Structure formats: structure tokens, C-alpha cells
Structure 1
Amino acid sequence: MASSKSQQFFHTSGATHSVWVHQDPVSNRPSFSKLNQDIETDVCVIGAGIGGISTAYELVTRGREVVLLEARQVLSGETGRTSGHLTNDLDDGYTEIAKKHGDEGARAAAESHAWGRDRVGEISKMLGIECEYRKLPAYEVSQYSTKDAKEHEDEMNDLRKEEAAQRKFGIDARFDESLTVRGWDGAIDQRGGLIVKDQATFHPTKYLNGILNWLKTQPNFRCFDETRVMSVEEKGIEILGIGNKSVNVSTSDGYTVKCNNAVEATCVPLQKLSVIAQMEFMRSYCIAARVPKGAIEDCLLYDQAEEYKYIRLTACDDEHDYLVVGGCDHKVGQEDTTTEFDELEKWTRERFSQVKSVDYRWSGQIFEPVDFMQFIGKNQGNDHIYIITGDSGDGLTHGVLAGRLIADEIDGIKNPWADVYSPKRIASMVKSLPSMIAHDVQINAQYKRFLQSDITDIEDLGRGMGGVLNKAGSKPIAVYKDEEGNVKQYSALCPHMKGVVCWNTTEKSFDCPVHGSRFSREGICVMGPSKGNLAPVDEAGKADQENVAGS
């Protein structure tokens, strides 16, 4: 029987636990069976996070027959490792979004994210889901005590420009140079900022568990977990919409789901390239700290630092709230992962004097498109395969929004917001070419790990730790030593494009610095674009490729 530690990666994508399990433990998730035969359906949705579940819901309510597939357990990916913001106050700012996508594209982004934010409230009310959904203001603030006068004024001017941009695109935003946030009373002060009305927050897994429980009662819905998809291929011929093209979704166990349309809601697409080269892959960190109930204003809060922090409250107990603080983002597999939680706690205590214990610490993965907007719609080169990816730090809102965009496109409805999210868009990518080239150069530099070793000897590896051993004349090996001292070895080459993985001390995983794939300490793939696991190696260091799924 698998140990509870190995089962951890069946329920989530890391060794840490997020605050969401405090009131919604894993045991609350609805159970499903594993696919054990070939089946047919109208739409096959791959990935049971917020994008996949929202898409399944929108399609089922329109009468479509839907099959939802999940490689591990439902909600085992990044949805349960977020910070719970629902907003159209987007991270990259509307001043910058308009430069890439024009005024029409920026307005579409504002309107569509507002719809996604409000849709959660509508659905939770219709289905009777208690998920802490509530409207509240968002504040973008300046910390003047940490800056000289000129830097502070520069930030204030940037916020004034953002106010003008947001108001232009229909967002109720107001700059207030005297804004102070109740509860921010620490040595590092704050004064002035942008107030954005009618934003929202919720408990993401409570909400999605509620939808899944409703979907289970619908005759046109089926879900299978522990069912890993290995390929999604269009079959047949279709020209200008005329023909008989269908889609085959093939699993690692050899079964096929034949469907009219397939939706890849898998954080990153399953195809080897697709839009992957147009995104950066980031890790982001969160803590949840106890504070006296009512001591800190209930709002969404963002500072203006280069490595900005994002904040919200969620329920703890009768006497306390949890203050959820996130930030310290860095590229996957390219930074030390042992200092971020301490940095977040220090940052928080310097600003909020009533912070008590820090009870939860966790990290998650973010996908940043070079032109700031998510990819939602037909995949490049496909007519019946759709993708949902590139959350740009707003994955919860954009996952809900994706449900409508995908359902509209499958139904043949022209959605006015669709073009700005199209995976086939060109103009904004042309404007982003310098960023794409710089990203490409930086990614290619990661192949230097073929010549590097994290550890010199397995004997020196501490218990519960991992690393990469790169002996001269042999291929690099990923090594994990468990708490009992047992050693497990795998090929350190990511099955996707042969990048050399590195050890993530915080999440006890092997992460690929090339395109962000991640693997559990047992070598199991928990994050694409890789579809396969790390190949086990024998005592001679040779990888056993048998029964190891492909890239």
C-alpha cells in the first residue's frame, strides 16, 4: 500500500497544505471511478480544476453531453493552491494591456473578467453553495516609508494613470492620495492608492465541490479520475466547417474517449509546443496568518513593489480570521525555494502588528503570457481541440470566464470577448517579440544543467531530501532519499523536452526549469507540459523506459 506521503501528490501538487483544507478537507471532495473502457461523448474536458469544472458546468447546462477526465484526484492541481481572488483589477494593469491589445482588447478584458467575478456569485446562489463569496473593494497601495520621496511620487503617478485607464474601460476605480488600510499599522507605513470597487473573493474548493456534487446528479455528465490523458488528436477531414472530423482522447491505460470536441483545461496544453513558448512559468508563495477577527479591513490588497504582494482575508474560527499573503514569485526550477515563506512572514509582521501564528504555508504555479492575456479557445492548428491556459496570476477569474468562452465557441456563438483570448492571435504577439526572444534565450540557458550536479554523493543526501547527480560520462539522475533512508532514483531528464530537473525543497518535488513540468518525489508527473513520469533507473544508472508514459 502506498504511504500517506506518496498519496499526498494524489490529492495535491506539493508537500505543503494550503489554507483551503482548513474548512474544506480533501475528504469532502466527491469521488469518481477510473475510466476502464472506450467511450463516446459530445465534449471531453480534460482537467478537473476551476477551468475544466467551469467549462463542464456551462456545457452541461446547455444540454451538451460531457465527460470530465482528471489524471489524479479532482481539484488536485493549482486551483487548490491559489489565494482566492476574483477580480477584473488585473495584475499587469490596463495601461500596459492597452499597449498590447488596444483599447478594444483592454475593454474586453475588463468586461469579461467582471463577468467571471460575478458568475461565481450567481452560480453559488443558484446551487446553494456556501463558499464565502462576497463583494469587497480592491486597493492598490504605495508604501512610502520604504522609498524616497521621488519613488513614492512615481508610484502615485502610475496609480493615477491606472485610474484613468480603468475608468476608460468601464471599471469603477478612484485614486485617493490619503487612502489608508485599516489594520496596516506597522513600522512600514502606507499612504495613498487606487480604490477599485465591486471586486470579490471566495473559498475556491468549497465552490467547486458544490458544482461537482450538482454535476454528479445530471444525466449528461460523467467524470473519471485517476485517468491520465496522453494524446488528443483530431481524426477525419473537414474543410471550411464541412466534413466529419472528430477527436480521439487517449489515456495512459490504453482507453479512448471519442468525442466531437475536446477541451484541455490542464494548466498547460498537452501538445509539445502549442502556446508554451509564449508563456513564462512561475512559482508563487502564500502564507495564512491568524489575526483577531475584524482587526484588518476585508479587502483585496496589492502593493506596488517590483515583486509585489497580494493579500486577502478568509475564515479561521470564531475569534480569528486568516490573513492570506502571497508573493515572492520566481521562475520554476531557477531559484532557491527555502527563503520565501520567511520573507513573506517578515513582510507581513512589519506591516500588520496584530498578526499571530502563521498556520499554513504553500506555493503554486502561475503561467504568464508574454502579452498579458490568457489563451482560451481553439488550439493552434486545430478545429475541435480547445485550450485553457496562461492564467497570468488571475487563474480563478479566468477559469470561470473560460467556461463561457469555450461553451459559446462550441455552440457557434460569436462572443465579443473571444478575440483577445484567442490562442491564434498574432498582433499582440508581434508586439511582444522582444520579450519572447529574451524568454527563449533564458530557457535555452537552462540546458547547462546537463553539466551540473546538485549533489556529489548519494550518501551525503539528507533524509527527506532530493537532488540531481551528474556523473561524468553518464546521464543525470534524480535521487530522492525518504525519511527511512531508502533511496529512489529516476532519470533527471524531463520527458517533455529533456530539460534536467532540479529539487524543490519546499514542495519535495523535481521541477523542470525549461517549461515548468513538475514531478513528485516518486517521479510521478503532477504538472505539465510533460505527460509522462520520470523513468526509474536501476543500480547501474540505466533508465527503464518500459511502462513510462511518453512526453
Structure 2
Amino acid sequence: MRNAKDGGASESVWLDVDIPDYDSTPELDTDVVVIGAGIAGLTTAFELARRGVRLTVVDDGPIGGGETGRTSAHLSSAVDDRYHYLEQRFGRGGAQLIAESHSVAIDYIEAMCRARSIDCDFRRVDGYLILPPGHEADNHRELDREMAAAQRAGLECEMVDEAPLPFDTGPALRFARQAEFHPMKYLRALAEAVIEMGGKIHTDVHVHGIEPGRPLRLMLDRDRTMTAHTAIDATNGAFTSTLHLPLRQATYRSYVVAFEIPHDMIPHALIWDTADPYHYIRVTKGKHGHEVLIVGGGDHRVGQGEPAAQWDEIEQWTRQWIPAAGRVVARWSGQIVEPADGSAHIGKSPDLDHVYVITGDSGNGLTHGTIAGLIIPEMMHGKSPHWAPVYDPKRSHLHAAGALISEALKSSAPYTDWLRPGDVKALESIPRGEGATIRRGLHLIAAYCDEKGRHHLRSASCPHLKGAVHWNTAEKTWDCPCHGSRFDAYGRVLNGPASQDLEPLETPAEATRPAEIRTEQRDTQRTPVPVPAMPIVRDR
């Protein structure tokens, strides 16, 4: 058993669950390989396994070590991209499909909890959309517009006088039948169900490429290979799409601070405001008779903000508006992939035949991951789920041309970093436990000084599309500001679209000569989709 921490130095409140080890050697051949053991990969694997499909799940970290364990665990059909926006992009019918799919995803999770007796603190709650604190009391046109669009999309929502918070929120839009749960408890049970149904799971297995063909040939770490008829990229970073999807979506970091509060001080509910970036709030179980208030926000493009400052801003905001909030018990950050038009990319890969992709979670990764588990198995069995068109990765994005151009400019601007000096001039200037870039001639080096004072040098060039990585002092990671790839302090890839580690340097670079880069093998040790009746035995 182990903790699922694998996305940075911070730890969420959900990492209090021991996760079984699945560290056996993967098979040489399988019918379907699912890459990624978060909620998207494991839901898809379960739905395939119960249909009798021979499958293998691989992940380069522990179960849930990616973004599932770094969420705030909202289960919401009131999606982050407002329905009046989605209606403009996809029409009224498309907005209705999006609302229906997220509602069914919540129903599915609830049904799984009941059928398999999963104790994951699942609870139905209301959701509330509010204006930012301090707004003008009569200025709620945004809420009126969203209520009309959400009702047209088929959601049960209404305007109420206020949200259940200890300050005057003013009018709030209440969404019925939202939910909360403990994502890692649910994921642990989901992994057990996959095994029970005959599926295989292997962790600490890194896939760094897929060679097209029939069968597909997967390139694994330590010079290993694996073949499969079909592959599902459930990494969220879409490493199987070098250009198509990274140019149609943008990566953000979002920040969360958890506070100890007295029991029943704030009712269990999901709450968001309309600020940009917005704040989101919920309550979960705590210890010793207390509960935990979870407050998030501070979103910014990966590698383009001040991570530690976002936690400070959230704490300051919380103590201003909820002064009874107690001590901070945890703080963490997570990766959000924002599609230009607001809808996730779930379906056949635009780049590789016989490959499916799940990405573009847009802040609703738990429901989007569940939706993927309902859509993709149906598609693989020759059916046409009626939700599929609004999630099709191959769809046109011209209806979101403005967002495409805006995000493309944000992705391109950081390439000028190659013309700038490094963060420091000498390795000795880097404090222990920190990283910095240092320039040696034409080379930009990502240098990390460990707690013993040893320096670990990597090329600062992201192996995806050659952006210059930035040091993230909050998470102790190297973050690419162009398309959001992330690497740990030693250069190991954590988030795609990059699939390779940062290139290591042969020796500490001296000021009088350029750095030499070598290749090093990775060391992993360091049709309508109804809510299905949850089977207890495998379908045949």
C-alpha cells in the first residue's frame, strides 16, 4: 500500500487513502491498453472489462497519482463553462447534450456506489452560482442569463435569495442534484472492480510513444514494448497528439487551500462565484469532530503565474469573507485543460488510427472522465452514442476562433525566453530544495539543488515543442509555459503533452564550455448512453 502523491510537492486532503500496489510486469500483448489510471482510465477500463474485453491499464505512477487526487471533488452538471456560452458554441441542442451527459455521469457514480457498496462519502448536494463578494446588489444579469440557458439545457435550477455561506452573497442561482464524494476512495474501489472483472493494472510503467499499425506497438520505459489492437490515451495531457489537440486547448493550474472549521458551520454544498478567475467552495469530512472547508481558485496558464502567491490570495480571500475559518490543513494545485470551445475532447484520436483520447477536462474532470467511460466502450463496439458529436476531438473549433487565437498567443509568447538570461548566473546561487535556469552559451539549463547540496542538471528545452521550462517553487516542478507539460525536480515527465523526460546533462556545465546533452533511459523507480444497471458479474 502507498500514498497516491505523484503530481508535485503538495498533498491534497484526498491522499489519506492507502492505494494498493500494482507493480507487476505488464503483458507483452493485449487487446486494449488504457494509458492512465485516473477516473477516466479506470471507468473506461471497468466498462470494457464487464463486456468481456481483454484489457490492460498502465500508469507511470500510482493509481490516481495524476489529477484525480488533486481535484476539489465537485460532481457537477453546472459546468465551469457557462451554458449561455456553450449554447452560443454548440446551439441549444448541443448544450442539452452536455447537461444531460454530466447529469448521467453523476447518476452513474451514485449507482456504482450503491451496487458495489463503495464507501466514498458520496452525497447529493445543491450547487450555487453567486456573484463575487462585494458586488452591486442589483447587478445580477450574469445570473439571469445563465439561469435561462441552464433551464433551456434541461437542468433543474432557480434563483434564490442567497447561498448558504456566512456572508451576504446576494441572489444565487441554485442547481439541484449536484454531488460530492471522496475521489480516491472511489478510485480504489474502481480499480478493485477492474481486477475483479478480469482486467490487468500495472503501475510505474511509462508509455513514451505509440507506433501506428495493426497491432499498435507501445514503446515503454526500460526498452520494453507492448502490442495492442486498440489504445486509449486517458492521461489528460494527450501525449498521443503532438499538434492537433495542444493547439485546440490550453493548460492551467488551479489552487486549493483547505481550512479546519467547526462541524456544521457551513452546509455541504458546491459553490462558485463569477469572478475571473473564480473561487469555488465545498465542505468535506475532517478529523476529531471538525470538518474541512475547501476553497479554490487563482487559475493561471501553466508556467506563467506565481504559484505560491495564489495560495496566499486564496487564504486572504477566505479569511476576509469567512473569518471563522480555522488553521490551514492542506493546500495543493491541479492541472486543468481548457478546450477553446468549452467542451472536452473524448473519442477517436485526430492523429492515430485505433487510438482514442480523453482530454480537455475544463475543470470538470471527474464527470468528464466518467462520460468518457460511457462513450468510448460504446464507440469501440460499433455504436454511435448521441453525446459523441459535442465531444468529438476531430470537430471544428472555428466557432471559438477568438479563444483559439487568444490562447495561441499566450502559448507562443514564452518562446522569447530563449533570448533571455537564466534565473541565476551560478549554480551556487540556487538554494537547497530549489531550482533555477542558468545559461551557458546558447544552452539554457534547468538546474535543481537537492537538500544535500547536489546539483541535478537537465536541458531546459521541453521535449514536446521546445518551450523553455520554468521552475515552480510551490510544487518543486519544471513547468512548460507553452503547452503545459510538467516535470519533477529531476526532469521526470509528470504531465503531457510531452512524453519524454527532460534531457539530462553529462556533467555540471562550466562557464567556459557549452553543456553536453546525452540520452538517458527513464528509471521509473525513482447511441443514447443510459445509466447502466451495475452488474456484479462480468457481461458475456
Same fold (TM over 0.5): yes
Between 392-401 and 316-325, the greater mean CA deviation after superposition: 316-325
Asked if structure 1 preserves the Cα contact closer than 8 Å seen for 2:5 and 2:11, the reply is no
Instruction: Quote the residue 1:277 is aligned against.
Output: 247
Instruction: Quote the residue 1:192 is aligned against.
Output: 171
Q: Which one of the candidate residues 64, 84, 101 is aligned to 1:95?
A: 84
Does residue 1:173 correspond to 2:147, yes or no? no
Q: Which one of the candidate residues 116, 127, 138 is aligned to 1:138?
A: 127
Instruction: Quote the residue 2:42 is aligned against.
Output: 53
Does residue 1:526 correspond to 2:494, yes or no? yes
Asked if structure 2 preserves the Cα contact closer than 8 Å seen for 1:286 and 1:344, the reply is yes
State the 1:273 CA deviation.
1.5
Partner SS, residue 470 of structure 1: strand
Asked if structure 2 preserves the Cα contact closer than 8 Å seen for 1:535 and 1:548, the reply is no
Instruction: Quote the residue 2:432 is aligned against.
Output: 463
Does residue 1:445 correspond to 2:413, yes or no? yes
State the 1:34 CA deviation.
4.1
Q: Which string of whole-angstrom CA distances, capped at 9 and with x for unpartnered residues, describes residues 236-263 of structure 1? A: xxxxxxxxx4322221233333222110
Instruction: Quote the residue 1:539 is aligned against.
Output: 508
State the 1:66 CA deviation.
1.2
Does residue 1:509 correspond to 2:477, yes or no? yes
Asked if structure 2 preserves the Cα contact closer than 8 Å seen for 1:70 and 1:225, the reply is yes
CA distance in 2, matches of 1:320, 1:53: 32
Alignment of 1:89-238 (within 5 A): 89-143=78-132, 146-147=134-135, 149=136, 152-154=137-139, 156-176=140-160, 178-181=161-164, 183-185=165-167, 189-219=168-198, 221-235=199-213
- Structure 1 gap segments, 5+ residues each: 1-6, 236-244
Does residue 1:17 correspond to 2:21, yes or no? no
Instruction: Quote the residue 2:285 is aligned against.
Output: 315
Q: Is the alpha carbon distance of 1:37 and 1:357 closer, same or farther for their aligned partners in structure 2, counting shifts above 3 Å?
A: same
Q: Is the alpha carbon distance of 1:530 and 1:168 closer, same or farther for their aligned partners in structure 2, counting shifts above 3 Å?
A: same
CA distance in 1, matches of 2:59, 2:79: 29
Partner amino acid for 1:191? G
Partner amino acid for 2:229? N
Partner amino acid for 1:153? D
- TM-score (ref. length: structure 1): 0.90
Partner amino acid for 1:179? E
Q: Is the alpha carbon distance of 1:204 and 1:37 closer, same or farther for their aligned partners in structure 2, counting shifts above 3 Å?
A: closer
State the 1:457 CA deviation.
1.8
Q: Which one of the candidate residues 25, 35, 38 is aligned to 2:25?
A: 35
CA distance in 2, matches of 1:420, 1:279: 15
Q: Which one of the candidate residues 225, 229, 235 is aligned to 1:266?
A: 235
CA distance in 1, matches of 2:27, 2:151: 53
Partner SS, residue 338 of structure 1: helix
Q: Quick one: percent identity of the two aligned structures?
A: 35
Q: Is the alpha carbon distance of 1:490 and 1:190 closer, same or farther for their aligned partners in structure 2, counting shifts above 3 Å?
A: same
CA distance in 1, matches of 2:15, 2:357: 28
Q: Which string of whole-angstrom CA distances, capped at 9 and with x for unpartnered residues, describes residues 319-375 of structure 1? A: 211011110000000112221111111111112232111110100110000000000
State the 1:143 CA deviation.
3.9
Instruction: Quote the residue 2:358 is aligned against.
Output: 388
CA distance in 1, matches of 2:346, 2:324: 42
Asked if structure 1 preserves the Cα contact closer than 8 Å seen for 2:131 and 2:274, the reply is yes
CA distance in 1, matches of 2:321, 2:52: 51
- TM-score (ref. length: structure 2): 0.92
Partner amino acid for 1:229? V
Partner SS, residue 224 of structure 1: strand
Partner amino acid for 2:419? L
State the 1:184 CA deviation.
1.7
Asked if structure 1 preserves the Cα contact closer than 8 Å seen for 2:46 and 2:197, the reply is no
CA distance in 2, matches of 1:91, 1:11: 26
Alignment of 1:417-456 (within 5 A): 417-426=387-396, 429-452=397-420, 453-456=422-425
Q: Which string of whole-angstrom CA distances, capped at 9 and with x for unpartnered residues, describes residues 206-237 of structure 1? A: 00101112222333x111111111222331xx
Asked if structure 1 preserves the Cα contact closer than 8 Å seen for 2:120 and 2:183, the reply is yes
Asked if structure 2 preserves the Cα contact closer than 8 Å seen for 1:523 and 1:535, the reply is yes
State the 1:35 CA deviation.
3.0
Partner amino acid for 2:185? K
Q: Which one of the candidate residues 484, 492, 499 is aligned to 2:460?
A: 492
CA distance in 2, matches of 1:109, 1:13: 29
Alignment of 1:248-397 (within 5 A): 248-271=217-240, 272-397=242-367
Partner amino acid for 1:512? C
Q: Is the alpha carbon distance of 1:104 and 1:180 closer, same or farther for their aligned partners in structure 2, counting shifts above 3 Å?
A: closer
CA distance in 2, matches of 1:33, 1:307: 39
Asked if structure 2 preserves the Cα contact closer than 8 Å seen for 1:447 and 1:499, the reply is yes
CA distance in 1, matches of 2:50, 2:466: 42
RMSD (Å) for aligned C-alpha atoms: 1.7
Q: Which string of whole-angstrom CA distances, capped at 9 and with x for unpartnered residues, describes residues 94-148 of structure 1? A: 100010011111000000000111111111111111001010000011245x23x
Number of residue pairs aligned between Structure 1 and Structure 2: 514
CA distance in 2, matches of 1:377, 1:524: 28
Q: Is the alpha carbon distance of 1:37 and 1:200 closer, same or farther for their aligned partners in structure 2, counting shifts above 3 Å?
A: closer
Asked if structure 2 preserves the Cα contact closer than 8 Å seen for 1:75 and 1:205, the reply is yes
Partner SS, residue 69 of structure 1: strand
CA distance in 1, matches of 2:485, 2:46: 28
Asked if structure 2 preserves the Cα contact closer than 8 Å seen for 1:35 and 1:224, the reply is yes
Asked if structure 1 preserves the Cα contact closer than 8 Å seen for 2:222 and 2:522, the reply is no
Instruction: Quote the residue 2:445 is aligned against.
Output: 477
Asked if structure 2 preserves the Cα contact closer than 8 Å seen for 1:480 and 1:521, the reply is yes
State the 1:381 CA deviation.
4.1
